[in-house]
Structure 1
Amino acid sequence: MLHSVATKTLFDQRRALLAWTVSLVLLVAMYAAIWPSVRDQPAMTDFLDSMPPAVRSMLAMSGADMSTPVGYVKIEMLSLMAPLLMILYAVTTGAAAVAGEEDRRTLDLLLANPVSRGRVVLEKLVAMTVGIVLLAGVTATALLTEGNLADMSLPTGPVIAAMGHLALLAMVFGTLAGAVGSSTGNLTAARGVPAVLAVIAYIVNGLGPQVSWLEPFQKFSPFYQYTGHDPLTNGLSVPAVLVALGTVGAFAAVGIAGFRRRDVSA
């Protein structure tokens, strides 16, 4: 295991991944426990409908209805909380891939092994991807199992599709963090740039339907690839998957190229 950068990275992250897993399971359990009290409260849906269109567009995800399990999960989890947590994990992990090693003064020890710089970046991103997929899978399993216990029945296929798109959203920003960190060696930039762009992308996607000058840019937002076709209702979108994978591949290529051509801090 210690001869592979990817498996060594995952081994080092085992405690953090366990903590993330437990936290996500408990988060879903909390939302599932609240569902019965929300289900029979039409005032919640009326309150959402009374919000300004711009606010509703940011939070409601395709006109979600709080009185249904699917609508409840869209609004309470998938519109903000789940993307926030997954992107947080992805950005911190992607930033730590190279810039974190350099900040801790351990990168020179890693590069002293018979591995190329390109392989280091690629395997670090593979480890990040495995972690993201694991957390998305745990969230999907928790939604389906804990949801059933709280009489919050959700369709299996669309839940898996939604978690797949959520994983791709996290991979986009995590790979961007890796690219910035690999190209600059600056840990602050590797964390800050993706975080700022994620906020901008979220706003552009949310306000695109309401603000005319933002509408042309909405489809360029990774959040549009995540929610634009409403995966929890319509399932997987192949075009959105291909766009997200293309974006991840482009950021990975930038990170590899940037790391290969720069000097590493001692």
Structure 2
Amino acid sequence: MAGFWLVYRRWQRDRLVSTAAWTVGVVITVVATAAFYPSLSGLSGDSAGSSAAMSSLLGLGQGIDPTSPLGYLWIALYANVYPWMLMALGVVLGVAAIAGDEDTGTLEYLLSKPVTRSTVVLARYLGMVTILGLVAAVSGLSLVVSYPMFGLDDDVTTTAPDGATVTSAGATATDAFNGTLSSFAVAVGLAGFAFLLGAVLGRKGPALGIATGAGIGGYVFYTLSNLTGSLEPLTWISPWRWYVADAMLVKGLTWNVVLPFGTALAGLALGWWGFVRRDLRNP
């Protein structure tokens, strides 16, 4: 057990600077997006979502008002930018966990010490999830802190074309938790796949390319299928189907949020199985 925590802490320490940089970058993006709400909240719902296809793609065709605090945060941040940032970090961490050190030869040095391959796999995987979770938690908290600064926690009343008025509730800490957790779920699922590739292939370049392609490909496949209506029954293979449809930032958590965690655990199990049964590759 001591060897496990030694490997875990060392990997965390080696990534202290990069973790801080990622955290600051994501926080700045989140707060900067929130800061634009006062200037954009006055747009009409029609101008904010004039394209029916685009509205459907962003989950706006289900009673989500893009001029409300939650609607704005969804369309400007949580429907695209925020999960993509976490997914990018997840791919980087997942590939680096095994393949990164194997490429440089430092993994061979680590395994020459009294630690098993299983210990390294579990410690690095936990380290990956820890860093990803830390960045998600800090950025989600920064959004909550920025609510009162930009009026995101205020109720908003809008007038429909027929003269009816609708009052939308302001954003709450629970909303931020729901949205951040669902984004983290998508990211950790892709991170688990990247970890699997790195553990099995032992090469950073191919693992990074395949994992990135899978992340982008899943989004493009969902987007094109949603816009054209073709192959729509197959969109279940993309996490974006439930992520956009459920819009958990706005509608609350659903059981679909656990699906990517299953993918992440499968990545751990298959990555461990492949890594302990192969020889290390020469750098």
TM-score, length of structure 1 as denominator length = 0.91
Q: In structure 2, do the counterparts of structure 1 residues 228 and 49 end up closer, same or farther at CA, with 3 Å as the change threshold? A: closer
Q: In structure 2, do the counterparts of structure 1 residues 251 and 62 end up closer, same or farther at CA, with 3 Å as the change threshold? A: farther
**Superposition deviation, residue 264 in structure 1:** 0.5
Pairing 1:159–2:176 present = yes
- Give the SS at the match of 2:21: helix
**Superposition deviation, residue 54 in structure 1:** 3.4
Q: CA offsets per residue over residues 117-174 of structure 1, 9 Å max, x none?
A: 1221221111110111111111211111112211112122122021111111111111
What residue in structure 2 maps to residue 198 of structure 1?
215
**Superposition deviation, residue 99 in structure 1:** 0.7
What residue in structure 2 maps to residue 102 of structure 1?
102
Which residue, out of 187, 209, 220, partners 1:170?
Answer: 187
**Superposition deviation, residue 214 in structure 1:** 2.4
- 2:220 is matched by which residue type in structure 1? I
Pairing 1:30–2:27 present = no
What residue in structure 1 maps to residue 245 of structure 2?
228
**Superposition deviation, residue 253 in structure 1:** 1.1
Q: Which runs of 5+ in 2 are unaligned?
A: 154-170
Q: CA offsets per residue over residues 174-209 of structure 1, 9 Å max, x none?
A: 111111011011211211111111112112333444
- 1:257 is matched by which residue type in structure 2? W
What residue in structure 1 maps to residue 264 of structure 2?
248
What residue in structure 2 maps to residue 71 of structure 1?
71
- Give the SS at the match of 2:246: coil
Which residue, out of 47, 59, 62, partners 1:61?
Answer: 59
- Give the SS at the match of 2:113: coil
Q: Distance in 1 between matches of 2:192 and 2:55?
A: 30
Q: In structure 2, do the counterparts of structure 1 residues 207 and 27 end up closer, same or farther at CA, with 3 Å as the change threshold? A: same
- Give the SS at the match of 2:114: coil
Q: Distance in 2 between matches of 1:49 and 1:32?
A: 19
Contact 2:49 2:66 in 1 (8 A): no
More deviation, 93-102/155-164? 155-164
Q: Distance in 1 between matches of 2:65 and 2:22?
A: 29
Q: Which runs of 5+ in 1 are unaligned?
A: none
- 2:238 is matched by which residue type in structure 1? S
Q: Distance in 1 between matches of 2:240 and 2:230?
A: 18
More deviation, 86-95/192-201? 192-201
Q: Distance in 2 between matches of 1:207 and 1:54?
A: 10
What residue in structure 1 maps to residue 116 of structure 2?
116
Pairing 1:150–2:150 present = yes
Q: In structure 2, do the counterparts of structure 1 residues 79 and 9 end up closer, same or farther at CA, with 3 Å as the change threshold? A: same
Q: In structure 2, do the counterparts of structure 1 residues 225 and 207 end up closer, same or farther at CA, with 3 Å as the change threshold? A: same
Pairing 1:211–2:209 present = no
Q: Distance in 2 between matches of 1:228 and 1:120?
A: 38
What residue in structure 1 maps to residue 196 of structure 2?
179
Amino-acid identity (%): 28
Q: Distance in 2 between matches of 1:235 and 1:38?
A: 24
- 2:209 is matched by which residue type in structure 1? G
What residue in structure 2 maps to residue 257 of structure 1?
273
Number of residue pairs aligned between Structure 1 and Structure 2: 261
Q: Distance in 2 between matches of 1:150 and 1:77?
A: 15
Q: Give the greater-gyration-radius structure (CA).
A: 2
Q: Distance in 2 between matches of 1:210 and 1:184?
A: 35
Q: Distance in 2 between matches of 1:234 and 1:74?
A: 11
**Superposition deviation, residue 229 in structure 1:** 1.5
Q: Distance in 2 between matches of 1:167 and 1:75?
A: 17
Q: Distance in 2 between matches of 1:166 and 1:49?
A: 22
Contact 1:66 1:72 in 2 (8 A): yes
RMSD: 1.9
